[in-house]
Amino acid sequence: MKKILISVAALALATSGAFAQNTVDFATVDTDGNGTVSLAEAQAVWKDLTEDAFKAADADGSGELSAEELATLPAPAQ
Ligand SMILES: [Ca+2]
Ligand SMILES: [Ca+2]
């Protein structure tokens, strides 16, 4: 059992390093709970997120990020 846990942890580390994709929970970022993430909401998690990077992630140009769009952002700096 312990061996399996170690393997899973190693895999998680390898995956986050290789793809650097965020595992941020959408509901955590969508603080007003309206179903989309505004620039201000995103910047609460991605402190160094620029408006340009936000717009680049906003694939449909709606001005807010859906869960799918949010998932394209890199992992936030700790
Ligand atoms: Ca929101
Ligand atoms: Ca959008």
Domain tally for the chain? 1
Nearest ligand to residue 56 Cα: 2
Q: Please tell me the pTM assigned to this model.
A: 0.73
Rounded distance from Cα 77 to ligand 2 centre (Å)? 22
- Is residue 71 in a domain? yes
- Is residue 54 in a domain? yes
- What one-letter code names the amino acid at 9? A
Least Cα distance to 74 among 51, 46, 47 occurs for: 46
Nearest ligand to residue 30 Cα: 1
Nearest ligand to residue 26 Cα: 1
> What CATH code is carried by the domain that includes residue 71?
1.10.238.10
Q: What is the pLDDT of residues 19-62, one digit of tens each?
A: 567 999 999 999 999 999 999 999 999 999 999 999 999 999 99
- Is residue 16 in a domain? no
- Is residue 29 in a domain? yes
Rounded distance from Cα 14 to ligand 1 centre (Å)? 31
